[in-house]
C-alpha cells in the first residue's frame, strides 16, 4: 500500500485549467503522466505526491472516504455530500474560481413571495388551493432540507432533479427550485427570480483536506511541503 499523498484534482474543463493555474502561480507544476486521456498525474519536484484526475463530485467522495488526502472541489458539493463536514474534512482555502451561488428561486409571478419567510404563508394558501404541498426541485437535497427546515418551513416535498432544474416549474413538475447559478440569466430566462434572502451558499472551488485519510509520515511531509510552497501554514 502506497504511503504517498494523493492529491485529487478536477479531470477536465475549466476547473482543471484553473486548478493548474492556481498551482502554477506558486511555482507548482501539475502534469498528467501516461496516456493523454489518462487519470494519473504528478507534481514536478514532489516525488511523494500522486495526482488523481477525477470529477469534482468524485473528489468529494474520495476526501470523505480517505482515498484522497487533499483535493480541489466546490464547496457546494462538499456541503451537500458530506453530512458531518467538520469532522471529515477541512476547507483549507477558497481559490477564487468556480464561483456559483446555491439559491432559492420562485416563479416571477409570485408577487407576494419575496423572502424565505413568505414561503410558510404561501405554502398554506397553496395547500388549500391545490390540496398538496409545494414541490421543490433540486439536486441539492441535503442543503435544501437544512435551509428550509432552519427557516421553519415544513410543508414541502422535494423532487430530485436530474436534469435542467430551472425548467421544472414551467414543465409543471415542480413549483419552486433550489439550484446553482452564476449570473442568474438562466433563471430569468425561465421565468424565475431569486428570493431577496434566498442565497443559501456562495460557493467557489476550495482546497480541501481530508481528516480521515491515512496520513503516513511520508504523506504528512509531502502535504506540509506543498502547503509551504503554496504559502499556507502546515495543516498536518
Domain regions of the chain by residue span: 5-98+204-229, 100-203
Q: Tens of pLDDT along 39-49? A: 889 999 999 99
> What integer is the mean pLDDT of 112-123?
95
Q: How far is CA 58 from the centre of its chain?
A: 11
Q: Tens of pLDDT along 87-104? A: 999 999 999 999 999 999
Q: Look up the pTM and report it.
A: 0.92
Q: Which CATH number fits domain 100-203: 3.40.190.10, 3.40.50.300, 3.40.462.20, 3.20.19.10?
A: 3.40.190.10
Closest CA to 82 of 70, 67, 65: 65
Q: Which stretches of the chain are assigned E, i.e. beta strand? A: 5-10, 30-32, 40-43, 46-54, 70-74, 89-94, 100-107, 134-138, 156-160, 176-181, 192-203, 205-210
Q: What pLDDT is stored for residue 36 in this prediction?
A: 61
Q: Mean pLDDT score of the chain, rounded to an integer?
A: 94
Please tell us whether the domain made up of 5-98+204-229 is placed in CATH 3.40.190.10: yes
> What integer is the mean pLDDT of 181-201?
95
5-98+204-229 and 100-203 agree in CATH topology: yes
For residue 38, pLDDT beyond 70: no
Amino acid at each position: 500500500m502506497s504511503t504517498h499523498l494523493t492529491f485529487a484534482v478536477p479531470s477536465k474543463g475549466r476547473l482543471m485549467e484553473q486548478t493548474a493555474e492556481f498551482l502554477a502561480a506558486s511555482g507548482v507544476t501539475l502534469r498528467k503522466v501516461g496516456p493523454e486521456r489518462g487519470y494519473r498525474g504528478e507534481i514536478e519536484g514532489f516525488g511523494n505526491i500522486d495526482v488523481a484526475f477525477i470529477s469534482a463530485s468524485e473528489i468529494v467522495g474520495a476526501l470523505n472516504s480517505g482515498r484522497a488526502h487533499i483535493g480541489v472541489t466546490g464547496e457546494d458539493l462538499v456541503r451537500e455530500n458530506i453530512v458531518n463536514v467538520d469532522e471529515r474534512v477541512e476547507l483549507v482555502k477558497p481559490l477564487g474560481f468556480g464561483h456559483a451561488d446555491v439559491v432559492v428561486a420562485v416563479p416571477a409571478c409570485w408577487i407576494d413571495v419575496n423572502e424565505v419567510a413568505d414561503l410558510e404563508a404561501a405554502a398554506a394558501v397553496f395547500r388549500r388551493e391545490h390540496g398538496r404541498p409545494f414541490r421543490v426541485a433540486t439536486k441539492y437535497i441535503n442543503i435544501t432540507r437544512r435551509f428550509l427546515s432552519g427557516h421553519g418551513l415544513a410543508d414541502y416535498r422535494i423532487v430530485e432533479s436530474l436534469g435542467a432544474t430551472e425548467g421544472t416549474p414551467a414543465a409543471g413538475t415542480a413549483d419552486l427550485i433550489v439550484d446553482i447559478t452564476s449570473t442568474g440569466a438562466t433563471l430569468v430566462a425561465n421565468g424565475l427570480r431569486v428570493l431577496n434572502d434566498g442565497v443559501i451558499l456562495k460557493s467557489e472551488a476550495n482546497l480541501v483536506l481530508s481528516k480521515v485519510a491515512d496520513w503516513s509520515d511520508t504523506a504528512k511531509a509531502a502535504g506540509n511541503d506543498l502547503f509551504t510552497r503554496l504559502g499556507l501554514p502546515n495543516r498536518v
